[in-house]
Amino acid sequence: MNKRTLRGASRRSILQQFGAAAIGVSFAGGLSACGRGGGAPTVNFYNWDTYIGPTTLADFQAATGVPVNMSLFATNDELFARLRAGNPGFDVIVPSNEFVTRMSQAQMIQELDRSKIPNFANLLPEFQDAAFDPGRRYSMPYTWLVLGIAYRKDKMPANFVPNSWRYLFDSPQFTQRIALLSESADLIRLCAKYLGHSVNNIPDEMLTQIEQMLIRQKPHIKAFHEDDGQDLLASGEIDIVLEYNGDIAQLMAGPGGEAFDFVVPQEGTLINSDCLCIPTGAPHLEEAHAFINYLLDAEAGKAITEEIQYPTPNRAVADLMGDAYKNNRVIFPPADVMAKSEYGAFEGDERSRLYEEIFTRVNAA
């Protein structure tokens, strides 16, 4: 037995040496990729599942000869936590707006080389700059999305549209038929919007007010859902839910989808944008830029948008899309409510922790 462990130990050290050699190789590969555009050509893409066209990766490989290796995460928080201790080798990641700011402040993502992304010109002018990433130094927009109220039409009073956050946050009308997204920051920001404030710079006394409002509303809420609100709605467990427009557009496009509808409340809402970024320490810089550029291409973008049915920030893509997409008021909410809507800014980690504690208290109350 003793011998066996010894042998195991030596095998482990051999493995370590082998590992060190492999690191050296991949590091050298990354360097040469930087310098000459050669080396081990592959793109390690870290994305949400089904958030890509069915053939996009294969098409990119056919066009450039570079294979794409896609791994998956489920939330921004997971993505951030996964990369916090260092980049294990990802080349392109897809964080949302707030996390672009957070990760750029933490130097977890690197500046993009605009000269290698000529398809930047395809973007709509309003997406060529962003408050969460001034000058678009770190990120390229991939999609954008808004939170709103999805509901089952035949469970509403006649000719009734729940076009205010009141029905979710501050009213017993749909008691025990409501589900809210269990994202502390989103909930608190939307409550502030309902109370007539911006989603950012919420004063402390308003936070207290919001906490009390949510605790008061709690008996009427059936569940806090994990971004699977569309499933709760479809199964008839609830009638009205806080969800993203893209999820509901997919639900409404499917069979039986005519039973549901989606509205962005008159008070305005939170806008989010999923962006393409390159994490610090990415081993294949050249290929990563080429891949981002490819995703912003008109034809490639069209294939992606047709699959995922999310609003695109890409003018060249939008021009290629049919009217059914362009005129879909779930995917593109009316201009008047969009004008009242805002991006949630990253206001420091202290703020996220405060929001989280408020949510814990609401849950525990």
Which positions from 234 through 293 interact with other proteins, judged by CB under 8 A?
234-237, 247, 250-251, 254-256, 283
Q: In angstroms, rounded to a whole number, what is the distance separating the alpha carbons of residues 365 and 355?
A: 15
Adjacent-strand bridge partners of 150: 241, 262
Cβ atoms of residues 339 and 333 within 8 Å: no
Other Cβ atoms less than 10 A from the Cβ of 150: the count is: 30
Interface stretch with other proteins, choices 1-9, 133-141, 205-213, 317-325 (CB under 8 A): 1-9
Contact pick of 33, 46, 119, 249 for other proteins (by CB under 8 A): 46
Q: Residue 115: CB partners within 8 Å, gap ≥ 6?
A: none
Contact pick of 7, 10, 18, 135 for other proteins (by CB under 8 A): 18
User: Any contact of residue 11 with other proteins (CB under 8 A)?
Assistant: no
Contact pick of 26, 64, 128, 163 for other proteins (by CB under 8 A): 26
User: Any contact of residue 55 with other proteins (CB under 8 A)?
Assistant: no
User: Min. distance of Cβ 4 from other proteins in angstroms?
Assistant: 8
The DSSP bridge pattern shows strands 260-263 and 240-244 to be unpaired
The footprint of other proteins on residues 138-197 (CB under 8 A) is 176, 182-185
Closest C-alpha among 94, 68, 98, 67 to residue 83 = 94
Q: In angstroms, rounded to a whole number, what is the distance separating the alpha carbons of residues 2 and 280?
A: 44
User: Min. distance of Cβ 70 from other proteins in angstroms?
Assistant: 7
Contact pick of 32, 64, 71, 209 for other proteins (by CB under 8 A): 71
| Cβ closest to other proteins, residue 123 vs residue 354 | 354
HSE value, Cβ hemisphere, 13 Å, CA-based, for 186: 21
| Cβ closest to other proteins, residue 22 vs residue 131 | 22
Contact pick of 56, 230, 245, 328 for other proteins (by CB under 8 A): 230
Contact pick of 40, 206, 320, 338 for other proteins (by CB under 8 A): 40
| Cβ closest to other proteins, residue 114 vs residue 361 | 361
Contact pick of 61, 89, 171, 195 for other proteins (by CB under 8 A): 89
CA 303 to chain centre: 19
Contact pick of 11, 37, 38, 78 for other proteins (by CB under 8 A): 78
User: Min. distance of Cβ 348 from other proteins in angstroms?
Assistant: 9
Mask for 309-338, x = binds other proteins (CB under 8 A): ------------------------------
User: Any contact of residue 207 with other proteins (CB under 8 A)?
Assistant: no
User: Any contact of residue 20 with other proteins (CB under 8 A)?
Assistant: yes
| Cβ closest to other proteins, residue 197 vs residue 351 | 351
| Cβ closest to other proteins, residue 223 vs residue 345 | 223
Mask for 90-129, x = binds other proteins (CB under 8 A): xx----------x--xx-x---------------------
Cβ atoms of residues 245 and 330 within 8 Å: yes
Interface stretch with other proteins, choices 63-71, 187-195, 203-211, 312-320 (CB under 8 A): 63-71
Other Cβ atoms less than 10 A from the Cβ of 74: the count is: 11
